């Protein structure tokens, strides 16, 4: 009987030590209820799309929102469908204090811009200015390039 009691005691002590080790080594991530934060419900407008696309648009929107939120380093922010019509998304942001900035970031529209490359690359700004007579036209934009492996700019 003594051996059984000693085994049980050692088992309990081992479990307790392992639990203490895990609690000390692994940081706790507090949820929205304990750390504070924000919970947003976003409605996705897809009335102009076909019936098939109306089911795809909320999922595509969820993926875009995840990328925007992850850009802020909030990888623990869940985004999930909400409501009965499948056109709302629940976004929970634990630890957020500046709600207006995050809200503006989530609601902004994505913009894709295309530029035609007229000339270049130039080695420095004075070469560019000389090619346009000292003043860059308003409809032109200077875009920096990355150097290639051989040291030249592409």
pLDDT tens digits for 74-116? 667 788 888 777 788 888 887 777 778 777 777 777 776 777 7
C-beta of residue 36 within 8 angstroms of C-beta of residue 95:
yes
pLDDT tens digits for 27-76? 777 766 777 777 888 888 777 777 777 778 888 888 888 888 777 776 67
pTM for the whole structure: 0.51
Provide the pairing of β-strand 79-82 with 88-94. Answer: antiparallel
Domains of the chain listed by start with CATH number: 32-107 (3.30.70.3400)
């Amino acid at each position: 009987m003594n051996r059984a009691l000693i085994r049980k005691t050692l088992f309990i002590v081992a479990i307790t030590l392992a639990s203490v080790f895990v609690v000390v080594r692994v940081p706790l991530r507090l949820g929205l209820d304990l750390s504070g934060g924000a919970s947003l419900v976003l409605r996705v407008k897809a009335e102009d799309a076909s019936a098939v696309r109306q089911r795809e648009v909320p999922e595509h929107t969820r993926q875009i929102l995840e990328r925007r939120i992850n850009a802020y380093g909030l990888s623990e922010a869940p985004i999930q469908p909400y409501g009965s019509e499948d056109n709302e998304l629940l976004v929970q942001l634990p630890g957020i204090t500046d709600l207006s900035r995050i809200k503006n970031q989530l609601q902004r529209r994505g913009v894709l811009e295309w530029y035609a490359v007229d000339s270049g690359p130039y080695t420095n700004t004075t070469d560019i200015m000389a090619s346009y007579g000292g003043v860059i036209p308003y409809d032109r934009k200077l875009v920096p390039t990355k150097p290639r492996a051989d040291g030249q700019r592409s």
